[in-house]
Each structure stands twice: as C-alpha cells, then as structure tokens.
C-alpha cells in the first residue's frame, strides 16, 4: 500500500484561476478606466458586499440568479448566505432601501467580482469581474439609449472602437405566443427552435404565428432591416408597443452616435429572467464572446430601471494590448520619486550589487538606473 501524493497546492477548482503579473495590474487599470468613464457621466460608485443573506440577495431581480448562487451558513447568525452571481440585484437593493429617497433618475456604477455555480462552454470561468452602470427611475428611449452610448464610450477608452451592440426584446416572443394562444405543450419546443434559429421548426411549431415569427427570425441583423420587419408585422398591442420602443431607442442612439454599429434580433430572448424591455449585448468584431450585457428591468416592486454590465476579462481579450508600466531597477540608496512621477515602477535594491544591469534582468525590469539616467534593457540583454 502506498500513500497518495499530496495535492498540488496550485490546483484550483474548475472555472477558477490565478491572475498573475502583469495581467492583474492591467485588469485593475482597465476597470478603473471604465469606472472613470462612468463617473464622468454622473454615475456614482457603490460597493455592495460579496456575501449577503440569502433571502435578501435572491429577492426581486435576484431571484433570476438563484440557480447560479453559491450558498453557505453564516456561523454567527446561523442564517443562510449567498455569494453574489451578479451585481445588478445588489444595486437594485441599495436603490430601493438605502437610497430610496435619493433624487431620480438615480445613476449608480459598480465594479467587483462575482461567483457562479456553473460555467458555460463560451464562458468557462466561474469567477468573473463585472463593471457596470444602473439608471434607476427613468423609463424612456433616452434612458435605454444612454446604456449604449456610455458603454460605447467606456469601451473606446480601452481601444475598442469597432464594437457592435445587438439590441433585443426578450418579452416580444412571449407576448406574441400569449396573444396567439399557442398551446402550452408547443411553447417550449417553439422557444428552442427560435433559440437555434431553426426556421423550418419554427414554421412547423408556430401555428398562426409561423409566418410572423419566421419573418422576424430571418430579419435579424442590421437594425434598419429588423425594424422594417417589425413595422410591417401584424403585432398585438403589447408587442407593437415593444417594437415602437425599440425603434425610438435606435433613433435616440443614432441622434448622438450615427456611426455606432447596431444590430437587432427581434426574436432573441437571452438574458436574465428579470429583463423586461429593450436589452443589449455587446460584441467585438470577429469574436463570439460577450463583452457586456444589459437591459430594462424593474427595480424593487415597480420602479423602472435599465443597466449595462461589462465583463473586463472578456474586454481585455478583445482589446488592443495594454503595455504594463516600465519597471526600473534602482540601486540601493537611490531616490526614485521623480522617476515614479515620470511613469516608472521603481524596484529598489535593498543592498549594493556589483552589476546593476544583471540585477535588473534578474528582477524582470525593463530599465536600470545608470549615473542617474534610466537605461532601457535591450532585447539581447535577456
């Protein structure tokens, strides 16, 4: 009988990973760039706790994240707690409790880490960073458009200037199905067919809606084509109101950013279950990974709200490379305040060394100080 080898201390649970230098610093700087843009548009920062009591965390919009929420027992209160899977419900709680009497519309922003029970094929990380905005107390196309406009500006600050915003109406298909009286046993298969973009199956399952749903399914793409299809469709009142709101939102966006790429998928219904109006997903050219997602929801029982959550990890994978600060080796006893003001990260020697160049290389520096002047280490020095 042999003893099992000890577990590798670097082994982490599936979907969790360490972020090492210089990537961790790059991510932190990128998040602060996003937050600076949000702040410049009047969004005030809040910082919800990582853990909350389960009944509060999963109330209201939080109920949509219940299946993705880790739970544990609080040893002090003996009440169940949850680790947040999404920060929007927490911001909604703050808005309806601690900031209930703050003037509306209320603009809040946030950044932090979330943890989810399960990963997906397209999003294998279970711990993910979020940075976002919530606009609470306004129900208008201008408010919906602000999510797109502020999001585009924040992404441009990180070098992503060719992003695409895909606008959707998650309540549209349920409204059509309800109005048409589609039998309950056909609703789930029809939803799956729409999700797969299977026009043939939609034609078989759609009943009286088959023609309308097929036309809307095939119209997905450039905003003008999809809006024209919605305008031409014979829609019940509730669905027609959603289509009009989407058209007004697109017009509000184009009034301020006419060159921004907008696509529309009229029958797409991805998103959390709390989304109930115009929603959006952000993509970079040539990439299937979402850079962000958001849309309209109810804050608390009845207050209108909309928001956008950006995913810094995905953004950094799509954005142009950001170069870390140059690292300058300072021989022991040298002052570096002026050099730090110039943008260097100074690595101070703690004892005299015979060869400052060699020590700079050993410590992973890009420069060393020679006779008071920063000297760049050439590639052949490696």
Which of 118, 139, 134 shows the shortest CA–CA distance to 68? 118
Average confidence (pLDDT) over 228-257: 95
- 304-354 pLDDT per residue, tens: 999 999 999 999 999 999 888 999 999 999 999 999 999 999 999 999 999
Q: Where in the chain do CATH 3.30.930.10 domains reside?
A: 19-156+290-307
Q: What percent of the chain has pLDDT over 70?
A: 97
Band of pLDDT at residue 273, cut at 50, 70 and 90:
low
Is residue 129 packed enough to be buried (19+ CB in 10 Å), middle (13-18) or exposed (0-12)? buried
- What rounded mean pLDDT belongs to the chain? 92
Q: What percent of the chain has pLDDT over 90?
A: 77
What is residue 54's predicted lDDT score, i.e. its pLDDT? Answer: 94
- Which class is domain 19-156+290-307? alpha beta
Which of 242, 272, 271 shows the shortest CA–CA distance to 60? 272
What is residue 381's predicted lDDT score, i.e. its pLDDT? Answer: 61
Average confidence (pLDDT) over 11-36: 93
Six-digit token string for 284? 């970079």
Which of 27, 53, 37 shows the shortest CA–CA distance to 112? 27
Band of pLDDT at residue 1, cut at 50, 70 and 90:
low
Which of 133, 151, 154 shows the shortest CA–CA distance to 262? 151
Lowest mean pLDDT among 93-102, 141-150, 210-219, 358-367: 210-219
What is residue 2's predicted lDDT score, i.e. its pLDDT? Answer: 60
d(CA 351, CA 261): 56
247 pLDDT more than 90: yes
382 pLDDT more than 60: no
98 pLDDT more than 70: yes
Band of pLDDT at residue 268, cut at 50, 70 and 90:
confident
Band of pLDDT at residue 255, cut at 50, 70 and 90:
very high
- 159-195 pLDDT per residue, tens: 999 999 999 999 999 899 888 888 888 888 998 898 8
**Residue bearing the bigger pLDDT, 203 or 5:** 203
Residue 182: alpha-carbon gap to chain centroid: 34
- 27-82 pLDDT per residue, tens: 999 999 999 999 999 999 999 999 999 999 999 888 888 999 999 999 999 999 99
For residue 113, which phi and psi values (nearest 5 degrees)?
A: -100, 145
286 pLDDT more than 70: yes
What is residue 271's predicted lDDT score, i.e. its pLDDT? Answer: 53
- 109-152 pLDDT per residue, tens: 999 999 999 988 777 899 999 999 999 999 999 999 999 999 99
Six-digit token string for 4? 């099992």
What is residue 60's predicted lDDT score, i.e. its pLDDT? Answer: 85
């Amino acid at each position: 009988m042999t003893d099992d080898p000890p577990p590798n201390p670097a082994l982490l649970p599936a979907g969790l990973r360490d972020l090492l230098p210089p990537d961790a610093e790059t991510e932190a700087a990128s998040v602060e760039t996003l937050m600076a843009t949000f702040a410049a548009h009047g969004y005030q920062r809040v910082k919800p706790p990582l853990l909350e009591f389960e009944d509060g965390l999963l109330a209201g919009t939080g109920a949509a994240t219940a299946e993705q929420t880790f739970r544990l027992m609080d040893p002090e209160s003996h009440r169940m707690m949850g680790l947040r899977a999404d920060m929007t419900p927490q911001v909604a709680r703050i808005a309806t409790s601690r900031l209930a009497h703050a003037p509306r519309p209320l603009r809040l922003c946030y950044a932090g880490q979330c943890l989810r029970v399960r990963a997906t094929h397209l999003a294998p990380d279970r711990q993910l960073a979020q940075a976002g905005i919530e606009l609470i107390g306004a129900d208008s196309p201008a408010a919906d458009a602000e999510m797109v406009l502020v999001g585009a500006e924040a992404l441009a600050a990180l070098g992503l200037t060719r992003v695409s915003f895909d606008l959707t109406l998650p309540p549209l298909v349920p409204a059509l199905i309800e109005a048409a009286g589609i039998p309950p046993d056909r609703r789930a298969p029809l939803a799956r067919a729409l999700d797969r973009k299977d026009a043939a199956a939609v034609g078989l399952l759609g009943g009286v809606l088959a023609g309308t749903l097929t036309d809307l399914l095939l119209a997905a793409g450039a905003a003008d084509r999809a809006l024209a299809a919605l305008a031409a469709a014979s829609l019940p009142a509730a669905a027609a109101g959603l289509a009009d709101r989407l058209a007004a939102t697109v017009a509000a966006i184009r009034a301020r950013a006419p060159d921004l790429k907008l696509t529309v998928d009229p029958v797409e219904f991805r998103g959390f279950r709390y989304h109930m109006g115009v929603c959006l997903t952000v993509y970079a050219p040539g990439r299937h990974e979402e850079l962000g997602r958001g849309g309209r929801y109810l804050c608390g029982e009845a207050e209108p709200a909309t928001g956008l959550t950006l995913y810094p990890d995905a953004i950094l994978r799509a954005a142009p490379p950001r170069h870390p600060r140059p690292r300058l080796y300072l021989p022991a006893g040298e002052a570096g305040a002026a050099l730090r003001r110039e943008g260097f990260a100074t690595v101070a020697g703690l004892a005299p060394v015979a060869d400052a160049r060699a020590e700079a290389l050993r410590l992973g520096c890009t420069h060393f100080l020679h006779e008071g002047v920063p000297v760049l280490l050439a590639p052949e020095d490696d």
